[in-house]
């Protein structure tokens, strides 16, 4: 307790230092030849492309943003867990099912940790996975279309935080619960938490097409599972999770969850459990979770409610799980490119604890245990310890690697990135980051083969880094050159939402596969009109389906009659363009939803319930040609009991 309060007061002092650190920034803005030299290194000339893609988590925006490095230019915002009126994601009939959950339609999410799919331990540029914390979900985004293709909800989880990291060949995407909860959920007194709540860790199998399926849930003790990373190389087959609140406190966690000097890193031998499950092990229990899949041929998503999940009691699988004691409520849990070192960042400490995988195996063999927790053996601390990075800074959070034997750790409280050497544990360099850095990313930094040229720090506080924009400022990312002995700060750029982690990859691994159009001859949408001759209006009771097309620069049809107040009108709009980068938009006055943005060859649907008689215009929202302003039409709305027949025309035909 005493120790904690002294740490917290140091923390408070250094926060004060951060907030009055304005003078520091002045000195970092070096002028003259130096600045010109730095500017050149991030300058990407007009028409040239960046060297890397960075996929930056959007945090409470629920989305994922795509940046180019080294320029720091934002290339795209990909909607994932939140509705996105810019494109109609989560508003169009086709994409609404993507946001379906066991709680119903959830239009917002808190996205955290993107991770790129891997083959043989290297990023392969097929997909990005990202977790949603609040309503536990994992999404898969295609790097061919840069669209969200699949979302799976995680049952029995709460605060899906130690997620969504992938194993070396994308065998699994892993999702761990941050909050321990009754498993399965039930109505119990909160004070009965200790010993009764559980902390399920979910292993989601990924097939060759990327489709996700929950293979099993590991029913772990009711600790908080904070972050995780897979083993690689020799430790491939294992997964490591940091825990905190091993005290299992249910109230005032800021004090009560910091009583134990050490929490654990849980080492999970998933290969053993995979085998156990393949041989019929585990128990099927009731669950309810949505599995949503988007199909690029029907241009539509389907949502299926799943009812069962396989649960595994870790104690039933001999040798499947061990605890490694790790000081001071560890947050980040990072594995070096060789797979030998597992770094636990005790966020209430100044030191980093590094465990050795080979020592861990020996300790298991020699049964060097220090008791057990709920039947799971606790390994002796000294037996697995590889080394300690001393006095790195204050409040270590996350670590990445450059593939040249160095590691880089962010220190939130002392607001710096610290470079240290694997094996000798000596601190080699430190650079301030403005301000209060959370995550950092090196392209491929979570793989066997990092591309250690740049490092991006993602900072929680922005203060004076940009022109003021009222009380709310975008968070700030900073780009460092790490190719030399010393890190060099090159660039600041704003991020959107709160960037919890990012994943980077060289552009060469992605850009050649990037899709340019959807082919009309592959369009299997139920309501597609593939030529202007196929356009029509069909009434079914008070529902009217409009099969509409767009092409530069008109809608077909563009005059519609026979709609009545009280109808439910579905505009199914097919974009007939087959050229790269020619979307059309569709907006209807009085629609209680967003616009549609329809890519070439795609069909999208918006619903409109006309409330007033009259003649109401619609138009294209995306400036698509010199005659974009002419791209418009009218819908005549008649009274409820009128008998104006359905009529759709273009230029009188
Ligand atoms: Cu998702 Cu470090 Cu809470 Cu961000 S984690 S910093
Ligand atoms: Cu089509 Cu503007």
Between the CA of 440 and the centroid of ligand 1 the distance, in Å, is 10
Ligand that comes closest to the CA of residue 330? 1
Q: What 3 state SS string does 139-187 have?
A: EEEECCCCCEEEEEECCCCCCECCCCEECCCCCEEEEEECCCECCCCCC
At 31 the pLDDT is 54
The answer to whether the beta carbons of residues 95 and 607 sit under 8 Å apart is no
For a pocket test of ligand 1, which of 397, 436, 459, 475 has the largest count of ligand atoms closer than 8 A to its C-beta? 397
Between the CA of 153 and the centroid of ligand 1 the distance, in Å, is 20
| Nearest alpha carbon, ligand 1 atom 6 | 438
Ligand that comes closest to the CA of residue 596? 2
Q: What ligand 2 atom has the least distance to the C-alpha of 583?
A: 1
Q: What 3 state SS string does 416-469 have?
A: EEEEEECCCCCEEEEEECCCCEEEEECCCCCCCCCCCCEEEEEECCCCCCCCCC
Please report the beta strands in 22-114, taking only residues with DSSP state E, as ranges in sequence order. 52-57, 64-69, 73-78, 100-101, 104-105
Which residues form the pocket of ligand 2, taking CB atoms under 6 Å from any ligand atom?
Answer: 550, 553, 584, 620, 622-624, 628, 631
At 134 the pLDDT is 98
Between the CA of 314 and the centroid of ligand 1 the distance, in Å, is 27
At 64 the pLDDT is 98
| Nearest alpha carbon, ligand 2 atom 1 | 584
Beta bridge partners of 160: 177
Beta bridge partners of 67: 54, 74
Beta bridge partners of 357: none
Between the CA of 96 and the centroid of ligand 1 the distance, in Å, is 28
Ligand that comes closest to the CA of residue 577? 2
At 15 the pLDDT is 44
CB atoms within 10 A of CB 649: 14
Q: What ligand 2 atom has the least distance to the C-alpha of 553?
A: 1
DSSP per-residue letters across 372-418: EETTEEEEPHHHHEEEEETT--SSEEEEEE-SSSEEEEEETTTTEEE
At 33 the pLDDT is 65
At 349 the pLDDT is 85
At 35 the pLDDT is 77
Ligand that comes closest to the CA of residue 595? 2
Between the CA of 463 and the centroid of ligand 1 the distance, in Å, is 20
Residue ranges of the chain whose pLDDT lies below 70: 1-33
Q: What ligand 2 atom has the least distance to the C-alpha of 620?
A: 2
Q: What ligand 1 atom has the least distance to the C-alpha of 161?
A: 1
Between the CA of 500 and the centroid of ligand 1 the distance, in Å, is 5
Q: What 3 state SS string does 290-322 have?
A: EEEEEECCCCEEEEEEEEEEEEECHHHCCCCEE
Q: 522 φ, ψ to 5°?
A: -105, 0
Between the CA of 548 and the centroid of ligand 2 the distance, in Å, is 14
The answer to whether the beta carbons of residues 594 and 88 sit under 8 Å apart is yes
Q: What is the pTM of this model?
A: 0.94
Q: What ligand 1 atom has the least distance to the C-alpha of 439?
A: 6
Q: What ligand 2 atom has the least distance to the C-alpha of 550?
A: 1
Which residues form the pocket of ligand 1, taking CB atoms under 6 Å from any ligand atom?
Answer: 112-113, 161, 331, 397-398, 438-439, 500
Between the CA of 622 and the centroid of ligand 2 the distance, in Å, is 5
């Amino acid at each position: 307790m005493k120790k904690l309060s002294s740490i917290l007061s140091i923390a408070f002092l250094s926060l004060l230092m951060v907030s009055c650190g304005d003078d520091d920034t002045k000195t970092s803005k070096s002028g003259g030849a130096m600045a010109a030299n730095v500017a050149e290194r991030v300058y990407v000339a007009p028409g040239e492309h960046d060297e890397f893609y960075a996929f930056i988590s959007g945090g409470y925006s629920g989305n994922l943003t795509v940046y180019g490095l080294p320029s720091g230019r934002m290339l795209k915002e990909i909607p994932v867990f939140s509705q996105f009126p810019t494109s109609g994601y989560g508003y169009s009939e086709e994409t609404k099912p993507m946001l379906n959950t066991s709680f119903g339609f959830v239009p917002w999410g808190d996205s955290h940790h993107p991770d790129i799919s891997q083959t043989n331990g290297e990023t392969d540029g097929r997909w990005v996975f990202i977790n949603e914390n609040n309503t536990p979900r994992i999404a898969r985004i295609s790097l061919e279309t840069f669209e969200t293709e699949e979302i799976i909800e995680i049952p029995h989880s709460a605060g899906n935080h130690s997620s969504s990291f992938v194993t070396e060949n994308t065998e699994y995407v892993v999702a761990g619960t941050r909050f321990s909860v009754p498993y399965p959920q039930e109505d119990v007194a909160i004070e009965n938490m200790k010993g009764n709540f559980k902390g399920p860790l979910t292993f989601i199998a990924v097939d060759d097409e990327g489709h996700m399926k929950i293979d099993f849930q590991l029913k772990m003790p009711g600790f908080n599972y904070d972050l995780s990373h897979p083993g690689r190389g020799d430790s491939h087959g294992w997964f490591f999770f940091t825990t905190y609140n091993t005290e299992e406190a249910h109230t005032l966690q800021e004090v009560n969850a910091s009583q134990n000097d050490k929490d654990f890193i849980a080492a999970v031998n998933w290969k053993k459990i995979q085998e156990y499950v393949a041989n019929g092990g585990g128990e099927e229990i009731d669950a309810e979770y949505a599995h949503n899949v988007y199909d690029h041929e029907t241009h539509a998503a389907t949502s299926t409610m799943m009812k069962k999940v396989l649960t595994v009691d870790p104690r039933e699988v001999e040798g499947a799980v061990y605890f490694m004691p790790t000081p001071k409520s560890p947050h980040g849990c990072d594995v070096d490119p060789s797979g030998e070192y597992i770094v636990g960042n005790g966020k209430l400490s100044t030191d980093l604890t590094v465990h050795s995988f080979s020592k861990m195996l020996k300790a298991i063999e020699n049964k060097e245990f220090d008791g057990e927790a709920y039947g799971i053996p606790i390994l002796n601390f000294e037996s697995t310890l590889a080394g300690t990075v001393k006095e790195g800074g204050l409040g270590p959070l996350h670590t990445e690697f450059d593939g040249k034997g160095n590691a880089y750790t962010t220190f939130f409280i002392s607001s710096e990135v610290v470079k240290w050497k694997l094996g000798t544990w000596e601190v080699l360099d430190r650079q301030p980051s403005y301000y209060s850095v959370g995550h950092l990313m090196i392209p491929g930094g979570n793989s066997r083969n990092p591309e250690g040229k740049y490092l991006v720090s993602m900072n929680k506080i922005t203060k004076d880094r940009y022109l003021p924009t009222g009380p709310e400022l975008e968070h700030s990312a900073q780009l460092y050159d790490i190719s030399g002995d010393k890190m060099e700060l090159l660039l600041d750029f704003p991020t959107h939402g709160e960037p919890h982690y990012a994943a980077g990859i060289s552009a060469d691994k992605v850009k050649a596969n990037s899709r340019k159009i959807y082919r009309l001859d592959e369009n299997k949408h139920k309501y597609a009109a593939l030529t202007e001759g196929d356009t029509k209006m069909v009434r079914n009771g008070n529902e009217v389906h409009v099969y509409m097309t767009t092409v530069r620069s008109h809608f077909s049809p563009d005059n519609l009659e026979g709609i009545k107040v009280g109808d439910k009108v579905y505009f199914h709009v097919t974009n007939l363009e087959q050229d790269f980068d020619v979307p059309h938009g569709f907006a209807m006055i009085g629609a209680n939803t967003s616009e549609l943005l329809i890519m070439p060859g795609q069909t999208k649907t918006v619903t409109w319930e006309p409330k007033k008689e009259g003649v109401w215009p619609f138009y294209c929202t995306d400036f698509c040609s010199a005659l974009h302003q002419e791209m418009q039409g009218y819908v005549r709305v008649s009274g409820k009991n009128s008998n104006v027949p359905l009529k759709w025309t273009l230029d009188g035909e």
